């Protein structure tokens, strides 16, 4: 067949070469028929049995997660368990069977269609990702109902254990992803998704090339087609010529050798050639992530996303973690880091990370009741977490990071809650760090534009670039139709970053970046040249970022940084950035 190229959204780095393995979803176009009154309860039981079976399957997958599996996978599978347990999925279709006499498949699809239509009316990336979750859970139930469960991962004409596989799908659920763990898969290609889809997050954690948001790749690519993923460029080459295949194999070999060398840098300090030390920190989701982060060479944890503790659940009953459970989790991470700092972000739940419990049932847009807004609306929940964090601070260096603050009263109320937690612990005779540092996550433009009220009252700032870019540019990050407008080099973003680092320097407080920009090697020189001295990222990205820093002279970048910050022309900014990247020898990278 003739070779052709597809363009999508690059969400990880590297090159993958292999055969296409098409992951066919259960068709949502199912049989529609009415059942008689005498058959209604039997049909209800058939759907209930399918839901129970899927629940057991998800539990089994969660229980069988290997030690080295990305922690994000377990959290995402937990979300699918919660969705499956939600009355909108577990009960509403049963009512449809009883009232309309629909067969089980028809009732489930009708409910999913109605939910999907509601999501389509909301232009928000977090909610869009939840729509994909709901559809993936429904497809899993449909596979059981139609007798096709267990066949999704099989293919004809390919030896899965001997050939490198590139998974091609409309979308890939976390549970399906785990079923590939014993197979030699080397990349992912999906029609849907964006920078924050499950496929994107897991592929970055695994260090596997992936391109998402490709539209109709799963219809254009045939089973067993040879594919090349250039995930730096966001390109998939279908049926490449022998010459192109050999060129990419050579580039792949160079990249693999270079990455192997990076493993020797674990204990090397990240110091530029002109003697400026940059602190490289790790982002973690669960306490067991701390030890691997330390092993990867992290100088500490720059972002412990505590909400994943609240989302962990392997059963139907999902309860909020107690103070003691949170304390043990935080203490585990703190002790694992052996004295290195651990920054714990307080509960950042909202539309992207719902707490689906009886008492705390929230599913709001990114502009709704989430993060610190939610915590201040639930003071007892917030106080319990603060007590747990403070108690853990007795076992090592701990910082408290408050997300999504934009108002002065949010700062004051948060600090007051921390003082209340300290007072309670003192009264109870429990140890904690009385001078624990408290900082704000700067991820709302309003916060970046009102920094004086932050630096006067807080000890440090941490920039969440993902949300800062989304809110500043009004871009739905998960919508591939507008994903090309998501631009971390937009002049407005660069101006905001410069304002934040300047405010921190003047106030004498540290400023870190813990969003996606911190782990993007294209931007390392720009960020450090602007003045950022702390970068926090997934642990897998630490070695190549460290290598970039070791090959950098900051004093040689200043003129170029000033030129970028003065420019409002996209082409000029990118051209200058390219010049910065060529000033000193760097590790071979792909473009």
Per-position DSSP letters for 3-53, written without gaps between them: -EEEE-EE-S-SEEEEEEEEEPPPPS-----B--GGGHHHHHHHHHHHHHH
3-state helix, strand, coil in the chain (%, to 5): 50, 15, 35
Selected catalytic residue, list 195, 198, 318, 490: 198
245 in Cβ contact with 16 (< 8 Å): no
Q: Using an 8 Å Cβ cutoff, are 307 and 349 in contact?
A: yes
Q: In terms of Cα–Cα distance, which of 209, 213, 312 is closest to 540?
A: 209
Alpha-carbon span 295 to 58, nearest angstrom: 30
Let me know if 198 is a catalytic residue. Answer: yes
* Other CB atoms within 10 Å distance of the CB of residue 133: 18
> How many Å apart are CA 268 and CA 299, to the nearest integer?
11
- C-alpha to C-alpha distance for 234 and 116, rounded to whole angstroms: 28
The single residue of 21, 318, 514, 560 carrying the catalytic annotation is 514
Contact 9, 194 (CB under 8 A): yes
Contacts by 84-92, CB closer than 8 A, 24 or more apart = 84/51, 84/54, 84/55, 84/58, 84/137, 84/141, 85/55, 85/316, 85/318, 85/356, 86/356, 88/115, 89/51, 89/134, 89/137, 89/138, 90/51
CB 391 within 8 A of CB 432: yes
Sign of the four-CA dihedral 393, 395, 398, 404: negative
CB of 94 closer than 8 Å to CB of 46: no
Question: Does 514 participate in catalysis according to the annotation?
Answer: yes
Can you tell me the distance from the alpha carbon of 171 to that of 200, in angstroms, rounded to the nearest whole number? 11
| 131 contact partners, CB below 8 Å, separation of at least 6 | 115, 116, 119, 120
User: At 282, phi and psi to the nearest 5?
Assistant: -110, 145
Strands 235-238 and 4-7: antiparallel
CB-based contacts of 367, cutoff 8 Å, min separation 6: 124
Show which residues are catalytic: 198, 514
């Amino acid at each position: 067949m003739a070779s052709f190229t597809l363009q999508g959204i690059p969400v990880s780095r590297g090159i993958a070469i292999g055969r296409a393995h098409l992951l066919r979803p259960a068709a949502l176009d199912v049989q529609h028929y009415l059942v008689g009154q005498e058959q209604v309860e039997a049909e209800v039981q058939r759907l209930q049995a399918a839901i129970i079976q899927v629940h057991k399957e998800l539990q089994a997958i969660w229980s069988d997660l290997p030690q080295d599996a990305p922690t994000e996978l377990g959290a995402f599978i937990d979300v699918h368990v919660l969705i499956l347990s939600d009355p909108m999925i577990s009960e509403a279709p049963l009512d449809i069977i009883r009232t309309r006499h629909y067969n089980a498949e028809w009732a489930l699809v009708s409910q999913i269609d109605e939910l999907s239509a509601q999501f389509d009316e909301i232009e928000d990336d977090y909610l869009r990702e939840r729509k994909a979750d709901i559809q993936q859970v429904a497809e899993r139930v449909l596979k059981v109902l139609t007798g096709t469960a267990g066949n999704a991962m099989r293919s004809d004409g390919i030896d899965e254990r001997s050939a490198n596989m590139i998974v091609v799908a409309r979308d890939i659920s976390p549970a399906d992803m785990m079923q590939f763990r014993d197979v030699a898969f080397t990349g992912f290609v999906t029609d849907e998704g964006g920078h924050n889809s499950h496929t994107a997050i897991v592929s970055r954690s695994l260090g596997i090339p992936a391109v998402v948001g490709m539209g109709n790749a799963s219809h254009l690519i045939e089973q067993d087609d040879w594919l090349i993923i250039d995930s730096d460029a966001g390109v998939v080459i279908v049926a490449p010529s022998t010459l192109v295949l050999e060129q990419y194999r050579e580039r792949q070999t160079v990249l693999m050798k270079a990455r192997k060398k990076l493993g020797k840098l674990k204990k090397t300090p990240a110091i530029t050639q002109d003697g400026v030390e940059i602190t490289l920190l790790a982002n973690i989701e669960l306490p067991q992530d701390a030890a691997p982060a330390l092993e990867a060479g992290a100088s500490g944890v720059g972002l412990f996303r505590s909400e994943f503790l609240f989302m962990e659940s392997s059963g139907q009953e999902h309860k909020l973690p107690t103070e003691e459970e949170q304390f043990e989790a935080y203490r585990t991470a703190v002790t694992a880091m052996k004295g290195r700092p651990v920054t714990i972000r307080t509960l950042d739940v909202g539309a992207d990370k719902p707490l689906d419990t009886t008492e705390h049932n929230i599913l709001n847009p990114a502009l709704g009741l989430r993060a610190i807004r939610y915590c201040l609306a639930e003071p007892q929940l917030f106080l319990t977490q603060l007590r747990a964090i403070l108690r853990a601070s007795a076992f090592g260096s701990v910082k408290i990071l408050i997300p999504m603050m934009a108002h002065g009263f949010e700062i004051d109320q948060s600090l007051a809650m921390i003082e209340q937690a300290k007072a309670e612990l003192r009264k109870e005779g429990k140890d904690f760090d009385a001078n624990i540092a408290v900082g704000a996550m700067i991820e709302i433009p309003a916060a970046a534009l009102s920094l004086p009220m932050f630096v006067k009252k807080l000890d440090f700032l941490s920039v969440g670039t993902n949300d800062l870019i989304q809110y500043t540019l009004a871009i739905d990050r998960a919508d591939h139709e507008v994903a090309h407008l998501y631009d971390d080099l937009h002049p407005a973003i660069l101006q905001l970053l410069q304002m934040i680092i300047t405010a921190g320097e003047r106030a004498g407080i540290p400023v870190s970046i813990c969003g996606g920009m911190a782990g993007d090697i294209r931007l390392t020189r720009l960020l450090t040249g602007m003045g950022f001295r702390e970068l926090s990222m997934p642990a897998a990205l630490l070695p190549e970022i460290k290598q970039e820093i070791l090959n950098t002279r900051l004093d040689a970048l200043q003129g170029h940084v000033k030129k970028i910050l003065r420019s409002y022309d996209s082409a000029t900014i990118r051209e200058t950035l390219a010049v910065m990247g060529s000033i000193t020898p760097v590790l071979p990278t792909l473009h």
